[in-house]
Amino acid sequence: MREDQIKVMIDQETLENKIAELGAIISRDYEGKEIVLICILKGGAMFMMQLAKSITVPVTMDFMVLSSYGNELISSGEVKIKKDLDDSIEGKHVLIVEDIVDTGRTLSFLSTYLVKKGAASVQICTMLDKPARRVVPVDVKYSGFEIADEFVLGYGLDYAQKYRNLPYIAYVEQEE
């Protein structure tokens, strides 16, 4: 891939306005409660930090690493925990913060896992959703943007581990 094939799909302002809106809705929905934000590393990191800034109810944060694409563009279909939660979530309201829902395998696995760990509630907030790619159904409560079945990068999302620092969502323009 050449640098000039990277094109803006969702610009920073549009993205961050939407994230602020999500934060406001979440703050209203969880009024009087505390939330444990669970970030799925590494892709969810930039989104979660931006989202957390516009949440006004008390939050704590925890981080998990799950197996994902590796350096390839296709999913292996298997989910493994590489780094588990640091703290107990028993009786807590958990909000999973994810970069993108694709096949749904990761979040389906994780939601079940967190319910088993005794969370009082488990909801999902994703920055992007590719509904056309869904293999396993997942109940996504908060979603930033629905996008077509296209590989995207930036704002936490990588291409072979790079470009996570782009402040916008990009796609790769295919060569003729």
- Residues that bind ligand 5GP in the complex, under the rule CB under 6 A: 43, 68-69, 75, 98-106, 151-153, 157-158
| Contact yes or no for 6/172 (Cβ under 8 A) | yes
Q: Which of 125/153 has CB closer to ligand 5GP?
A: 153
Q: Which of 30/159 has CB closer to ligand 5GP?
A: 159
Residue 66: which H helix or E strand, with range? strand 59-66
Q: Is 86 among the catalytic positions? A: no
Residues of 84-94 as b/e, b for ≥16 C-beta within 10 angstroms? ebeeebeebbb
CB of 6 to ligand 5GP, least distance (A): 12
Q: Is 38 exposed, middle or buried (0-12, 13-18, 19+ CB in 10 A)?
A: buried
The closest of 103, 172, 110 to 131, measured between CA atoms, is 103
Q: Which of 30/158 has CB closer to ligand 5GP?
A: 158
Catalytic residue among 99, 102, 129, 158: 102
Q: Which of 91/137 has CB closer to ligand 5GP?
A: 137
* Separation CA 154–CA 170 (nearest Å): 6
CB of 138 to ligand 5GP, least distance (A): 8
CB of 163 to ligand 5GP, least distance (A): 8
CB of 143 to ligand 5GP, least distance (A): 13
Neighbouring residues of 80: CB distance < 8 A, sequence distance ≥ 6? 66, 67
Q: Which residues are catalytic?
A: 102
